[in-house]
């Protein structure tokens, strides 16, 4: 197996993990709200904000942080290597 195919499989595994597996895991382990909204209003405002953030947190894909530079770099690596490997005369 050449390194381009291996890099493509690694990139595919990273994307599946970051966009499918981790969001599903976040959804499964997220805590359910243990009280009603009326009970939540009895707490201090700072505590209310923390509790609401804990129950509504969503996963941000790790590879999209930093402007998606990870995907740009892998895209350049995979497309550039493919173009130059087929251009040999």
Q: Furthest-apart CA pair in the chain: how many Å?
A: 75
Extents of the domains making up the chain: 3-86
At 80 the three-state DSSP class reads helix
pLDDT band, very low/low/confident/very high, at 73 (cuts 50, 70, 90) = very high
Most confident stretch, 11-15, 39-43, 74-78, 85-89: 11-15
pLDDT value of residue 70: 92
- Residue-wise pLDDT for 62-72, tens only, equals 999 988 999 99
Measured CA to CA, the distance from residue 35 to residue 56 in angstroms comes to 14
* Residue pointed to by tokens 């499989």: 9
Q: Residue 54 corresponds to which tokens in the numbers above? A: 């804990």
> Between 40 and 61, whose confidence is greater?
61
51-56, Cβ contacts within 8 angstroms, sequence gap of 24 or more: 55/30, 55/31
Q: What is the value of pTM for the model shown?
A: 0.70
């Amino acid at each position: 197996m050449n390194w381009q195919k291996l890099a493509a499989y690694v990139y595919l595994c990273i994307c599946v993990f970051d966009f499918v597996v981790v969001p599903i895991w976040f959804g499964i382990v997220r805590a359910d709200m243990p009280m009603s909204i009326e009970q939540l209003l009895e707490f201090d405002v700072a505590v209310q904000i923390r509790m609401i953030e804990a129950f509504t947190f969503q996963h941000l894909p790790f590879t999209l942080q930093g402007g998606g530079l990870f995907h740009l770099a892998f895209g350049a690596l995979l497309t550039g290597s493919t173009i130059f490997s087929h251009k040999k005369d």
